[in-house]
Every structure is written in structure tokens, then in C-alpha cells.
Amino acid sequence: MKNSIIIGLLFLHVNVSATIWQVGPSKTYKFCSQIASLVQHGDTIEIDQFVYVNDPQVIWNKNNLLIRGAGGRPILQAGSNIANDAVNGKGIFVISGQNVKVEHIEFRNASVMDHNGAGIRQEGRNLYVTHCKFDGNEMGILCGDITNCKTTVEYCEFVNGGSLSNPGYQHNIYINHIDTLIFRYNYSHNAIAEGHELKSRATNNIILYNRIANENSVDSRTIDLPNGGISVLLGNIIEQGINSANSNLLGYGLEGLTNPAPHGLYMVNNTFVNKKTTGSFINIQNGTDSLFLKNNILAGAKTGGLLIGTPLHIDSSGNKINDAISAFDFMNSTLYDYHLQASSLAKDAGVAVYKTILNTLLVPTNMYVDTCQFVARPLASGIDVGAFEIPFATITSDVRSGKKFTIYPDPCSGILHFKEPVDGRYIIYNYAGQKIQEGMIRDQSLDVTSLPTAVYSLQTGNQLLTFIKE
């Protein structure tokens, strides 16, 4: 009993010691730089919505911090204090602590003497950035070489990254040698000065449901993965504009396959659009172990070839390729709307893919929505090629808005459970829109053990949702 009391007191002490620090024009601390040296492990920093101009560089060196905007997204706008810092100048935030989360903050105009001024300079393991914006920085996020590190970036916008003083070396986001980058539901666009919208040297890259696009700036490749490893691209819109300085949209391993083997590039249900009159889509290092290319739209000129480079193994099917962007009957390609009309040649033209890489099932369950959001991808009468699915009227015609229900776990290996009371008949459809199981829901649960690994649609009453059977 005595030991239990001591343990309980220790636990209480740890929780009580965590502090919430508040920054704002009406608070005791007006700038983040005033509290950086006071913060301890596990603390929370709340920054009021305001435009904070010319604060010195802030170094966060404690672990398990939560740094977030309060009452709206504050804007941290770099100025001369950072630009003229000849000793330590790296960017607006330098995060050297581990397991730090940053959310709902905008970073602007970071520049430093070596032209690598970052909104966030990551030097500690396991950074998580969500619902942030990076505008006009030489680097939006710049991550160093860090072992045993996973960096997750989601629901963020990156724009105008690069340096006119050092063209070609600064990017919207630049991840150096770490274990894993997870990049999802983001909008990275219009890098300047021949920068990339996304550059990553991570051993593993999981790139899901993003819009990664050059619309009108002078960028380089839209995506550059220069050192190989394993990369998964699923459900992305990847676009090259007419002013791009490079001739291909995606580069893989072009600085050498120096990451740990194997080296594989897996691209499923992406929409690639090249608006230049010249170019190529994929430039891959000779000797890459695997190229897996399924259900992608590749629209626009390929004067340099669809694929440059020779991998050891190619598995390619279900792709739709045409030099004429208009051939795909996009909703409005001029305004960057690449949803499909019912007349599109991509409709129902895909193939079934039930492959898992990096614990990611290569079946699209979501679709990107501007800005930095997603919606569930509907099941259809067939698999549409590209990042968007045309809704299937046969299944959804009797589905109306009504009482919502949710299921768990998802993905599921055996029994689905309903969080809300649900009674009555259910129907399960496969990805092709075929009815494969039906019956009555009993005891607020449903046995799906017998279903093969795939994505399914579950209808009960007037509700329809998707789930993954693993």
C-alpha cells in the first residue's frame, strides 16, 4: 500500500508540474522568445491569434511540447532579427526537443544568411505538424539528418518556398535523412526559384491524399525523392505548370540509391497533370528494385518519355495516359479541378489492388479537398483511375441524410462494432459496387472475418460508409 501511494504521488507530481504558457499582445509574455528558456518538458505553449513581427529565432529544446495557436491561427512573421543573426540564424522555430507537436500556426518570410531560413527547422526526433501554413519562407520545414525519427505533416499549406538568392536549393518542404516521413492532406504549391514542392531523403515516404502542384511559379520537379528507399504515393494530385524549370514531375533516386535497401516506388490512383508542352512524368534511377504503377492518370505532354530510367521490376496496369489533358474530361482543368465527369475515359477503368506497403493498403479510401482536407472516397460500379471517384448512383440512390453512425475498429480484422444503437438490415458492397454480404445487425456488432482484405462499403438504414478489412 505504501508503494502504491508513493507511485500515485509521483504520477500526480508529473501531471501538476506541466505548465500552460500563454503568449499574446494582452498577456504577460508578448513573444515566444520570452518564454523559450522557461519552458519545461511536457509543457503547452498557446499563442493568441495576432501578427507577431520580427521576433528573434526561438529554440524549443524540451521534449513532449505542444505548441499551438489559440483563438485562431497566429502569424509569426520573420524580420531582420532572424535575417541578420550571423551566429545562430536558422529560422522562426528551431525544434531540437523530441516528440513535439505544432498546430494551427502560420510561419512567414523566414530568411537567413545561408539562405536556408525555415519556418520550422527540425533537429529533434518525431515532430508532428498539423493545420499550419508556411508562406514565403526559404524553407517551409527543413529537417536535418536524424536517426530513429518519424516526421508527420498533415493538413498544412506550403507556398512560395525558395530563395531567389540561391536558386534550386530551397524548397517548400525539405526532409533530410530520417526513417519515415508521413505527408498527408497537405497543399504544397508554387515553390519559387526552381525549388521543389516536396523534397524528401527519408528512407520511407508515405505520401497520401495531397495536392502537390505548381500553378504558375518557376519551380523544379513537383516531387523529388533523391535517395531511394520505399515511397508510397496514393490518391495525390500532382501537377506541373507551364513555367516549371524542370522537365519531369517526379524524380526518384536521382542522386543515388543511398538509402537502405530495398528501393521501391509505389504509385496508385494519383492524378498527374503536365501543363507544359514538353516533359516527362517519372524519372527513376536505373537499377531501382521495383516500380509499382497502378490506376494513375498521366495527362499531358511526354516528349521526354512517360518514364525515364530502368527499374529492375515494373508492375504497371490500369493507368490512363494521354497527351491531351482535355481527353480526360476533367471538371475544369483550367481552374485545377481534376474531378472526373461521367464521360471521362478514366471512369471504371482501374484494376483491383490489394497490396500493403509500409502498413499502407494501396487502395484509396479518401480524396483530397481544398484546402488541406479530405472526404471519404465513394465506392463505385468500377474503380475510377486517378485521385477522384465518380459517385455510384446505384448504391447511393436510396441513401439520404439522417442519423449518423460510426463503426470501430477501422481497419478491422474480425468484428465491427457500432458506437450508436443500430437495428435492422445491413448490406456490404465490394469496391466494384457488388453486393457481397447482407443480413441483420445483432448486438451492435457485425462479423466480417470471412471477407478478404479490401475496402468495403457498409449500408444500413439511410447511412453509407466505407471500412477496411485487413
Whether residue 7 lies inside any domain: the answer is no
Q: What is residue 396's predicted lDDT score, i.e. its pLDDT? A: 37
Whether residue 14 lies inside any domain: the answer is no
Asked if residue 225 has pLDDT above 80, the reply is: yes
Q: Which residue in the block uniquely carries the three cell numbers 513581427? A: 53
Last residue of a domain, one of 376, 410, 442: 376
Supply the range of the domain harboring residue 193. Answer: 21-376
Whether residue 183 lies inside any domain: the answer is yes
Mean pLDDT of 82-86: 94
Per-residue pLDDT tens over the stretch 251-293: 999 999 999 999 999 999 999 999 999 999 999 999 999 999 9
Per-residue pLDDT tens over the stretch 412-451: 888 988 888 776 788 887 765 677 888 888 888 889 999 8
HEC string for the chain:
CHHHHHHHHHHHHHHHHCCEEEECCCCCECCHHHCCCCCCCCCEEEEECCEEECCCCEEECCCCCEEEEECCCCEEECCHHHHCCCCCCCEEEEECCCCCEEECCEEECCCCCCCCCEEEEECCCCCEEECCEEECCCEEEEECCCCCCEEEEECCEEECCCCCCCCCCCCCEEECCCCEEEEECCEEECCCCCCCCEEECCCEEEEECCEEECCCCCCCCCEEECCCCEEEEECCEEEECCCCCCCEEEEECCCCCCCCCCCEEEEECCEEEECCCCCEEEEECCCCCEEEEECCEEEECCCCEEEECCCCEEEEECCEEECCHHHHCEEEHHHCEEEECCCCCCCCCCCCCCCEECCEECCCCEEEECCCEEEECCCCCCCCCCCCCCCCHHHHCCCCCCCCCCEECCCECCEEEECCCCCEEEEEECCCCCEEEEEEEECCEEECCCCCCEEEEEEECCEEEEEEEC
Whether residue 434 lies inside any domain: the answer is yes
Last residue of a domain, one of 332, 347, 376: 376
Does 456 lie in the same domain as 313?
Answer: no
Q: Where residue 381 falls among pLDDT bands split at 50, 70, 90?
A: low
Mean pLDDT of 137-145: 98
Which range (230-234, 273-277, 314-318, 399-403) has the least confidence? 399-403
Per-residue pLDDT tens over the stretch 111-126: 999 999 999 999 999 9
Q: What is residue 204's predicted lDDT score, i.e. its pLDDT? A: 98
C-alpha cell at 391: 459517385
Does 366 lie in the same domain as 225?
Answer: yes
Distance CA 449, CA 146 (A): 41
Q: What is residue 432's predicted lDDT score, i.e. its pLDDT? A: 57
Q: Where residue 243 falls among pLDDT bands split at 50, 70, 90?
A: very high
Which range (9-23, 157-171, 197-211) has the least confidence? 9-23
Does 209 lie in the same domain as 123?
Answer: yes
Q: What is residue 453's predicted lDDT score, i.e. its pLDDT? A: 81
Q: What is residue 435's predicted lDDT score, i.e. its pLDDT? A: 79
392 or 355: which leads in pLDDT: 355
Does 37 lie in the same domain as 180?
Answer: yes
Q: Where residue 462 falls among pLDDT bands split at 50, 70, 90?
A: low
Does 140 lie in the same domain as 76?
Answer: yes
Does 153 lie in the same domain as 63?
Answer: yes
Whether residue 372 lies inside any domain: the answer is yes
Q: Which residue in the block uniquely carries the three cell numbers 518557376? A: 218
Does 397 lie in the same domain as 309?
Answer: no
Average pLDDT, the chain: 91
Does 359 lie in the same domain as 446?
Answer: no
**Which CATH number belongs to the domain containing residue 195 in this structure?**
2.160.20.10
Whether residue 83 lies inside any domain: the answer is yes
395 φ/ψ angles, rounded to the nearest 5 degrees: -75, -40
Whether residue 16 lies inside any domain: the answer is no
Per-residue pLDDT tens over the stretch 384-410: 999 999 875 433 333 333 456 778 888
Does 177 lie in the same domain as 124?
Answer: yes
Whether residue 258 lies inside any domain: the answer is yes
Per-residue pLDDT tens over the stretch 48-82: 999 999 999 999 999 999 999 999 999 999 999 99
Mean pLDDT of 188-207: 98
Does 147 lie in the same domain as 26?
Answer: yes
Does 347 lie in the same domain as 419?
Answer: no
Domain count, the chain: 2
Does 404 lie in the same domain as 352?
Answer: no
Q: Where residue 14 falls among pLDDT bands split at 50, 70, 90?
A: very low
18 or 425: which leads in pLDDT: 18
Mean pLDDT of 97-111: 98
**Which CATH number belongs to the domain containing residue 432 in this structure?**
2.60.40.3080
